[in-house]
Structure 1
Amino acid sequence: MSFTDLSAQLWRERELLDTLTFRLEVEQLLLTAGRTRRLPQATAEVEQVVDQLAVAGLERTVIVAALAAEWGAPLESTLRELAEVAPDGAWQDILVSHLSAMVEQTATIRSLRDANEQFLRAASRATEETMATIAPSSRTYDSTGSAAPSSLSRFLDQTL
């Protein structure tokens, strides 16, 4: 494996991080607009990108280990550790640049994820509160064992 392989892999991961950011932003737009019908699809797309990132991370680990061996560093070196032992010059600068961009992208992703989780919790609470106000607290049954109409059903039957 060469440094070029690592750089190409890091670009691929950065593109995946950009895609993940986009997918999380779409998810957030759906949540803030109250368009929850497409939320499962948006969430599935986020999970697909996360899975692709996991595979890309494993591929990067293999490439980093090969370069670490070549540069005299421990095989389990992180990208940051590899940048520290990289030959001076362009390689070190490129690794530091990739690392910096990926750290920034990851911070953005964490922020989006946290905001989306808060939107989901708020929506869940609102749904539970709404359901509590319209759902009957207990059902009654007639002599045949059938459920008697709920107060909501009676209200709707009387109004419609």
Structure 2
Amino acid sequence: MTIEEKIKKLGYELPKAIKPVGAYTPALKIGNLLFLSGILPFVDGKLLKTGKVGKNLTIEEAQNEAIKVVLNALAIVKDYIGSLENIKQCIRITGYVATTPDFTEHPKILNSASEFLIKIFGDKGKHCRVAVGVCSLPLDSPLEMDFIFEL
């Protein structure tokens, strides 16, 4: 089963690759590593959820947004290298979560992204991770993530 077939089996569709909203490249390959810029949970070019986790979004809503970010990341990878089958390993995810000052459950939000990657890639989806709480993100997004993949 291909990676895209696994994604569909889990009930998701790989979207079209999102375009940058600033002066940067969405992906940069150096040697056998592919670095992705910060990715927001866009759906058809729009953020369906905005605000802060703990105020405007529940943990469950933010977990769903994290999966949208992973799907957008994989769409960028496919657009950049042609196939998700060329991914050897997800190396690292950095997740930034816009939260209220007293919120401390950042790992729970990013767990949904990590678990999703493991479901579709198996051991190749296991990665290092950083979860950071921030006071705001671009476009009032509740979540932003960047990725490093080995090809």
The question of a shared fold, defined as TM-score above 0.5 by the shorter chain, is answered with no
TM-score by length of 1: 0.25
TM-score normalised by L of structure 2: 0.26
Q: Say which structure, 1 or 2, has more relative contact order (CA 8 Å, 6+ apart).
A: 2
- Higher strand proportion, which one? 2
Higher helix share: 1
